[in-house]
Amino acid sequence: MAYLLNEKLSALGYKVFYDIESLSSGKFNAKLLEVIDECNDVLVILPPNSLERCVNEDDWLRLEVAYAIRQGKNIIPIMMKGFEWGKNIPEDIKELKNYNGVIVTFDFFEGVLARIIKYLTNSSKEKMITEKKSHILFWADFDDAIIEKIVNKLKLDDYFIEIMSEPVEILSKNLQEIYAIILIVTDCTKFSSNIYAAKRINETLVRYVRKGGKLIGAHDVIYRRTKNELLQNMFGCKIVNFEQTETVHYHKTEECLEEDRFSNLPEDFVLHDAEICWGKVAEDVDVYFETESGIPLVFSREYGNGLCIFLNSGDFKERPPRSILITNRKHRRIPSRHFKERYSRAMALNWMYS
């Protein structure tokens, strides 16, 4: 039900967040209180017997509802078939039953949705972006400050780049408005420790690309240990091999030269990376850069109506590799020029359909 409401409300332009990890694990996520602070409306989905657990003072549902009540939020109880209020509702959430609620019937779900929307405050609806800037989502499994530095150095003034703190945020986005998604996985980091959440993220990304989205994935995003099987299938490659190194030599393929892709980069250059990773690529994958021995380093694949691009950089040891952070003469850490150029061209995506 939470996922369905997220999809429906997001498509209508509402900014929606739902905590898929806590819903599955039953654990309280303190970050949710910060989310509640930023929200105007709180939808509480109530399956049968869902309030019985609230007798425990540390129950996450009780903690969240009680906090929303104290903060004066507009709460909308969503009552599923078979739900009853009961008599032993804890004092700190007893007021929940006095809010305008909606009884769910899937026989007439559009009517249920219309009633929910009626109870929502107008401020929950996202303001339309009037500037003609393409919206890009960016996530990497290292320090946000480094990500911000990379984004600033890319200088893509025509794009609005939103840095996500966790991949699960993708599930709360209206992806119809997202121009591209960038995911850098440097050290076998899974999208979520929750198997269900990770699967939903994979499914959402695949659906996004099939509908015309553009996905840029780096390094371990399709490595076998990250278990992103749906993405491996979509990219047309499952990374199974790796070789540790200090530098990676990039060579343009004949296809890259013939189609004049990445024209702002030299035919050969070196990046300071900690590892090369590779696997067998599908027949319809277009390889643009490879090593001297023919290992694919940068490739793309059309999937459905969209496109996905893979970039080899960069493995994470104690810190991101020098391809991402490199010391110049003034001893300031800045992204490598060639690293920036590759991402700038990949993110600009002007070359893909030219």
38-76 pLDDT, tens digit per residue, is 888 999 999 999 999 899 988 888 999 999 999 999 999
Alpha-carbon distance of 154 to 66, in angstroms, equals 44
Candidate from 1-10, 116-125, 342-351 with smallest mean pLDDT: 342-351
Same domain, 236 and 325: yes
Neighbours of 142 (CB within 10 A): 18
CATH number, domain containing residue 300: 3.40.50.880
Q: Are 41 and 121 spatial neighbours (Cβ–Cβ below 8 Å)? A: yes
325: in domain: yes
Asked if pLDDT for residue 99 goes beyond 50, the answer is: yes
pLDDT band at 349 (very low <50, low <70, confident <90, very high): very low
Non-local (6+) Cβ contacts of 82 within 8 A are 47, 48
pLDDT band at 246 (very low <50, low <70, confident <90, very high): confident
Asked if pLDDT for residue 350 goes beyond 50, the answer is: no
Asked if pLDDT for residue 347 goes beyond 50, the answer is: no
Neighbours of 33 (CB within 10 A): 14
129: in domain: no
* Domain's final residue, options 101, 124, 147: 124
Q: Pick 210 or 336 by higher pLDDT.
A: 210
CA distances from 282 to 35, 90, 236, 299, 340 (A): 42, 58, 5, 11, 27
Same domain, 110 and 216: no
Q: What share of the chain is helix, strand, coil (3-state, %, to 5)?
A: 35, 25, 40
| % of the chain residues with pLDDT over 90 | 37
pLDDT digits (tens, 9 = 90+) for 136-195: 899 988 877 877 877 777 666 777 888 888 898 888 888 888 989 999 888 888 998 888
C-alpha triplet 310, 316, 320: angle, nearest 5°: 95
pLDDT band at 294 (very low <50, low <70, confident <90, very high): very high
Query: What pLDDT is stored for residue 334 in this prediction?
Result: 35
Query: What pLDDT is stored for residue 354 in this prediction?
Result: 28
Alpha-carbon distance of 56 to 119, in angstroms, equals 30
On average, the pLDDT of the chain sits at 80
* Domain's final residue, options 90, 124, 158: 124
Query: What pLDDT is stored for residue 240 in this prediction?
Result: 93
Same domain, 204 and 256: yes
Q: Are 44 and 198 spatial neighbours (Cβ–Cβ below 8 Å)? A: no
Same domain, 47 and 173: no
pLDDT digits (tens, 9 = 90+) for 126-139: 543 334 458 889 99
Asked if pLDDT for residue 35 goes beyond 60, the answer is: yes
pLDDT band at 230 (very low <50, low <70, confident <90, very high): very high
Same domain, 26 and 138: no
Same domain, 166 and 19: no
Alpha-carbon distance of 170 to 184, in angstroms, equals 14
344: in domain: yes
CATH number, domain containing residue 40: 3.40.50
pLDDT band at 7 (very low <50, low <70, confident <90, very high): confident
Alpha-carbon distance of 6 to 253, in angstroms, equals 43
Query: What pLDDT is stored for residue 165 in this prediction?
Result: 85
Grouping H, G, I as helix, E, B as strand and the rest as coil, residue 328 is coil
Q: State both tokens at 155.
A: 């200088």
Alpha-carbon distance of 65 to 42, in angstroms, equals 9
Task: Summarize the confidence of residues 93-121 as an average pLDDT.
Answer: 86
Asked if pLDDT for residue 228 goes beyond 90, the answer is: yes
269: in domain: yes
Same domain, 119 and 140: no
Helices (H), 120-175: 144-154
Bridge partners (DSSP) of residue 327 are 333
Same domain, 72 and 184: no
Measure CA 233 to chain center. Answer: 18
Where are any strands of DSSP class E within 83-213?
A: 102-103, 134-140, 159-163, 178-185
Q: Pick 6 or 22 by higher pLDDT.
A: 6
265: in domain: yes
Asked if pLDDT for residue 316 goes beyond 70, the answer is: no
Alpha-carbon distance of 302 to 284, in angstroms, equals 8
Same domain, 164 and 303: yes
Which domain range does residue 76 map to? Answer: 2-124
Alpha-carbon distance of 55 to 63, in angstroms, equals 11
353: in domain: no
The pTM score is 0.61
Same domain, 143 and 85: no
Query: What pLDDT is stored for residue 254 in this prediction?
Result: 94
Grouping H, G, I as helix, E, B as strand and the rest as coil, residue 45 is strand
Going by their DSSP bridges, the two strands 134-140 and 159-163 should be labelled as parallel
Determine the number of helices (DSSP H) and then strands (DSSP E) in the chain. 10, 16
295: in domain: yes
Q: Are 5 and 102 spatial neighbours (Cβ–Cβ below 8 Å)? A: no
AA identity, residue 342: R
Asked if pLDDT for residue 26 goes beyond 50, the answer is: no
Alpha-carbon distance of 299 to 277, in angstroms, equals 13
Q: Pick 22 or 148 by higher pLDDT.
A: 148
Same domain, 120 and 138: no
254: in domain: yes
Alpha-carbon distance of 185 to 232, in angstroms, equals 14
Total number of domains constituting the chain: 2
Query: Residue for token digits 């190194």?
Result: 245
Same domain, 183 and 219: yes
The b-or-e profile of 15-32 (16+ CB within 10 A means b, else e) is: bbbbbbbbbeeeebbeeb
Q: State both tokens at 136.
A: 């890009």
* Domain's final residue, options 124, 158, 184: 124
